[in-house]
Amino acid sequence: MVNNAIIAAFGLDAANFEIKRFGSGHINNTFLLSAIGDDKKYVLQKINTNVFKEPAVIATNQRLAAEYLAVHHPGYLFITPIQTVNREDLFVWEGDYWRLIPFINDSTSVDQADNTKQAYEAAKQFGKMARYLDGIDMRPFKPTIPNFHNLTLRYSAFQEAIPQAKEDRKAAAQDTIEEFLRHSNIAITYEQLKTDPAFKDRLMHHDTKINNVLLHKTTFEGLCVCDLDTLMPGKLISDLGDMVRTYVCPVSEEERDLTLIHVRNEYFEALMKGYLEEVGATLTEVERKHLFYAGKFMIYMQGIRFLTDYLNGDVYYPIKYPTHNFDRAKNQLTLLQQLIKKEPELQAIIDQCLAQKA
Ligand code: ADP
Ligand code: GN1
Ligand code: MG
């Protein structure tokens, strides 16, 4: 589906490149363009417009952040798309939106954290971006997906999906539905927090999976963050929580053997340390009190998003088999239960990291 016209729009000649699919994200279509004969590379992406209804907002948010960072933190590596020959951030071809991103040399990414250094380095990158963007005027920024991490609405969507689901799916998922409903206090806490002015609005990444950080391919030191589609105003619990969700468990959200799901304290500590070393000094009191809550918030939200999609007949997440979303929801529920079980010891780790910061 990539064609010469799309590549030419960015001033490149397709004949000079080898083009391959790249990455393992759920949402966009990503391609790697590798120059034949030299090591120049680009990342070409088709934005999923079912998810991002206004792709121009993505480009504007990214550019506003880049301009601010260039002034206030010169030298910071912040990925900015390459403009088309007509000086546009996006190229529209037959209704599809494409963008070209410079490939960061000597970078790699991992789909799963398999040592604590990776977790620390990745968290530090997200923390650094949050710290550098702390203080930016948020008024010109718009949501690239309205209500993306609004747990109140995600919870309502889940409740609405239950009576509308096909009987066989509802019956199969009954126990899982009940267990998620039993944890509705997580949604209630969010409801109370979101109106608290001390629960600060920040420019957040909103998708802090470890493969959205580029690491040096040999030293595994953090280079920068990528996948900035959901850079928009939000809350600290989104970025911190998604790291907890995706770094602490030895297996991913795709794992069906639930006995393999548990919380690795040393990864929890590594990511907390990396993140708080960067943003610790900017935290408000209410944010500091909700650092453990962040993990519950994100795991719960992701769990009900998968379950809602299963009940709705798999309209959002791509699936490989009929119960894929249901399995993902059970995976997240197990992770949530494991995290909650360890709250006292994990809170002690947080307190220790905060004390080191002070
Ligand atoms: P998706 O929406 O598919 O998750 P990403 O923007 O995260 O898209 O890109 C997919 C993968 O491509 C990333 O996990 C990362 O490994 C790699 N990648 C993305 N941007 C770059 C870049 N600028 N340089 C090097 N690798 C990149
Ligand atoms: C989606 O694109 P990808 O795979 O990084 C989703 C995230 C979920 C994630 C779960 C825009 O992210 O919110 O956490 O899947 N992105 C969107 O794997 O819905
Ligand atoms: Mg990604």
CATH of residue 224's domain is 3.90.1200.10
Task: Determine if ligand 1 sits within 6 Å of the CB of residue 34.
Answer: no
Give me the percent of the chain exceeding a pLDDT of 90: 96
Same domain, 79 and 192: no
Same domain, 153 and 75: no
**How far away, in angstroms, is 302 Cα from ligand 2 center?**
9
Short-list 196, 69, 198, CA closest to 135: 69
pLDDT at 358 over 60: no
Same domain, 347 and 268: yes
pLDDT at 259 over 70: yes
Give tens-digit pLDDT for 160-197: 999 999 999 999 999 999 999 999 999 999 999 998 98
Give tens-digit pLDDT for 107-135: 999 989 999 999 999 999 999 999 999 99
Task: Determine if ligand 1 sits within 6 Å of the CB of residue 25.
Answer: yes
**How far away, in angstroms, is 233 Cα from ligand 2 center?**
17
Ligand 2 atom nearest the C-alpha of 316 is 19
Task: Determine if ligand 1 sits within 6 Å of the CB of residue 223.
Answer: no
Q: Is residue 22 part of a domain?
A: yes
Q: Is residue 135 part of a domain?
A: yes
Task: Determine if ligand 1 sits within 6 Å of the CB of residue 101.
Answer: yes
- Please say which residue of 69, 103, 137 terminates a domain: 103
Same domain, 23 and 140: no
Pocket test for ligand 2, best of 24, 26, 52, 325 (most atoms within 8 A of CB): 26
Same domain, 63 and 123: no
Does the pTM of the predicted model rise above 0.90?
yes
Token pair 């650092």 in the structure block, residue? 291
Q: At what angle do helices 167-182 and 291-311 cross, to 10 degrees?
A: 170
- Write the CATH number for 8: 3.30.200.20
Distances (CA, A) of 162 to 32, 41, 166, 172, 333: 40, 46, 9, 12, 17
Instruction: Quote the number of domains for the chain.
Output: 2
Same domain, 10 and 146: no
pLDDT at 257 over 90: yes
Q: Is residue 303 part of a domain?
A: yes
- Please say which residue of 68, 103, 138 terminates a domain: 103
Q: Is residue 287 part of a domain?
A: yes
* Enclosing domain of residue 199: 116-357
Does the ipTM surpass 0.85? yes
Same domain, 124 and 26: no
Four-CA torsion 338, 342, 348, 350, nearest 10 degrees? 10
Beta carbons of 46 and 97 less than 8 angstroms apart? yes
Pocket test for ligand 2, best of 24, 209, 309 (most atoms within 8 A of CB): 209
- Please say which residue of 81, 103, 125 terminates a domain: 103
* Closest ligand by atom to 28 CA: 1
Q: Average pLDDT for residues 202-216, to the nearest whole number? A: 96
Average predicted confidence (pLDDT) for the chain: 96
Same domain, 137 and 67: no
